[in-house]
Structure 1
Amino acid sequence: MDGKRIQDYWSSEVDALVRTYQQFETLIPSPNGAGAEHKGEDGRFVEDLLREYLSRHLPQGLEVLTGFILRPAVKTGDYGRERSKESDAHSTQLDIIVFDTANYPVFQRFGNSVIVPPEGVVGIISVKKHLNDGDIKKECSALFEAATLCQTLGSNNPNDKVRGPYLALVSVKSKIEKSRTDALSWIFNQVGDAYNGKSDVTFDKLVGFIGALDEWSIFKRRPDSNLTSAEYVGFRHQNGESHLGLQFLLTGVLSVFYDETRRNLRRPGYTAFPSHRPHDTHLGGVPCTSLR
């Protein structure tokens, strides 16, 4: 298989994203080190950049928003009372929520800031300007809690759960690389620690991607039929491979959006990974109880 045009295209998109952020740092420099002068605005600019790039390439009707997920303990469908023993619950503030506004309502909206029900959530992404040592466990735990709120039942077969949202932790650059000899293995160990002691750890609720867009990627592989753990592999981006991070994100979100538990549409040929590119390292598995 080919797909070289698509790979080159996505690489150009990521390179442009990184250059745009570098221009922001150039125009609003920090006198005390790397980054822009105003750290809060620095981080929000990165979120806005990633939202803009995702919005360009996702299907119409999928919006890339920020805000909260609210899971009300109310009846669903016509007669669904699966939440009868629950209480109303909501997430922490989430950097990016990919939401299916074409098919699901929104509780409240102020610009791109929203409060949404869990049924329409297709992706949840935590965004960092620089990924630091303390971010991995904290962000993976927050994503797990948000994904737990999104466990919902299907409409065709109400006994089956809908595939959960794609979960990711994304940064422009990584500071972990500068302080760790084997950064990818160290990050994976932090991922495993984030889920220790949690109950009902399913495959869907484990983070699907962690990456510094133009440096490296950690990816959760597709589950096999004998599912006892989620297997993770690592990629160190080589020349011309800056496309990997953005492609993992887009592929993950689209795989949820077009999943048979959500709709009866065939996913288009939209991303292209090198056919004979092996992962650089098999990081290991995180135990899980079931698929979803």
Structure 2
Amino acid sequence: MSNYFDFISQELLGKLRQVKVYIKKHNPTIGLLTEEILRDFLRKHLPKVVSVEQGFIIGNNNEMSRQCDIIIYDSQAYAPFYRINDVVVVPAESVLAVIEVKTSITKKIFHDAINYFFELRNFGSARTYLFIFNSLNIRKIGDFLNSYKHPGDYHEFDWDTFQWLPDEITGVNSSFHLKKDMVIDDRDMMGYTSIYYEGLDGDEISALENFFLSIYGVVENHIKTNYFRSENMKKREDYNKRKLHSILAIPLFHM
């Protein structure tokens, strides 16, 4: 069944590449198209318990989030408070994942994204993703993380401020899929790791496959906890028989 993951990753990559072919110089349009491609892909391939929309999240104190590019929420149990076309306002307790989409990345854009995810911590415990369409390499992403200016006198991430960061960061061209993790170095540290598998036709496929499997896993865990409550529910990633090829890491702070 690993061919399944090849096919769906190639499908997503092909649609993203078409944007580069036809829209070359208008970043706002590229950004809107990338968001819509990702939303449409996830609507097609995720279980129907969830809906994939853009919009806003309402917190427990009726405060409203900034606009979210992609919200994945349980539409089986929760109806939106408001909807116009595909823009919704949904309660925080319904939201499983939030994806922020960037056309390209600079230090300022990346730091603004950190601030955005910090604000989202007031709106529940959804898993957070940063998706970068034209990314820089992992080394530059590490530089952006380490150059972030924290409030006050302390200028490095720790256990508390680590929670500000997106749980996962996906880059396409340069390509990677980073997840918060323990980094084994001379001393144990916390940071991000990116896994690559053998037998893939490029890092883009590996990144997109990991991106999809991660989001699918979030939905599966929600279904298992709230609907089926079965220990025998087979996970989608169980069908993936890839062999590990390599791991890259960004260490951020000592444990």
| TM-score bracket, shorter-length normalisation | 0.7 to 0.9
Deviation at 1:243, TM superposition (A): 2.1
1:48 matched residue in structure 2: 36
Correspondence for 1:211 among 141, 159, 170:
170
Change (3 A) 1:272 1:221: farther
**What is the 5 A alignment of 1:5-154?**
5-25=3-23, 34-36=24-26, 39-73=27-61, 88-150=62-124
> In 2, are the aligned partners of 1:185 and 1:283 still within 8 Å (CA)?
yes
Letter in 2 for 1:258: E
2:219 matched residue in structure 1: 257
> In 1, are the aligned partners of 2:16 and 2:34 still within 8 Å (CA)?
no
Secondary structure of 1:257 counterpart: helix
Deviation at 1:269, TM superposition (A): 2.2
| CA deviation string 1:60-79 (max 9, x = no partner) | 13111111111133xxxxxx
> In 2, are the aligned partners of 1:209 and 1:217 still within 8 Å (CA)?
no
Change (3 A) 1:146 1:274: same
Identity %: 20
2:128 matched residue in structure 1: 167
Change (3 A) 1:170 1:12: same
2:249 matched residue in structure 1: 282
Deviation at 1:110, TM superposition (A): 0.6
Change (3 A) 1:10 1:213: farther
The one of the two structures with greater contact order (alpha-carbon pairs below 8 A, sep at least 6) is 1
**What is the 5 A alignment of 1:195-274?**
201=160, 206-221=165-180, 230-234=190-194, 239-259=201-221, 262-263=226-227, 264-265=229-230, 266=233, 268-270=235-237, 272=240, 274=242
Gap runs ≥5 in structure 2: none
Deviation at 1:199, TM superposition (A): 10
Change (3 A) 1:272 1:215: farther
> In 2, are the aligned partners of 1:220 and 1:230 still within 8 Å (CA)?
no
With normalisation by structure 1, the TM-score equals: 0.69
Deviation at 1:131, TM superposition (A): 2.0
Partner Cα separation in structure 1 for residue 177 and residue 149 of structure 2: 13
> In 2, are the aligned partners of 1:14 and 1:242 still within 8 Å (CA)?
no
Gap runs ≥5 in structure 1: 26-33, 74-87, 151-163
Partner Cα separation in structure 2 for residue 117 and residue 147 of structure 1: 14
Deviation at 1:215, TM superposition (A): 2.5
| CA deviation string 1:84-109 (max 9, x = no partner) | xxxx3221111111111111121101
Deviates more, 1:45-54 or 1:190-199: 190-199
Change (3 A) 1:206 1:140: same
- Structure with greater helix share of residues: 2
> In 2, are the aligned partners of 1:7 and 1:272 still within 8 Å (CA)?
yes
> In 2, are the aligned partners of 1:96 and 1:126 still within 8 Å (CA)?
yes
Partner Cα separation in structure 1 for residue 85 and residue 107 of structure 2: 33
- Structure with greater strand share of residues: 2
Partner Cα separation in structure 1 for residue 82 and residue 217 of structure 2: 27
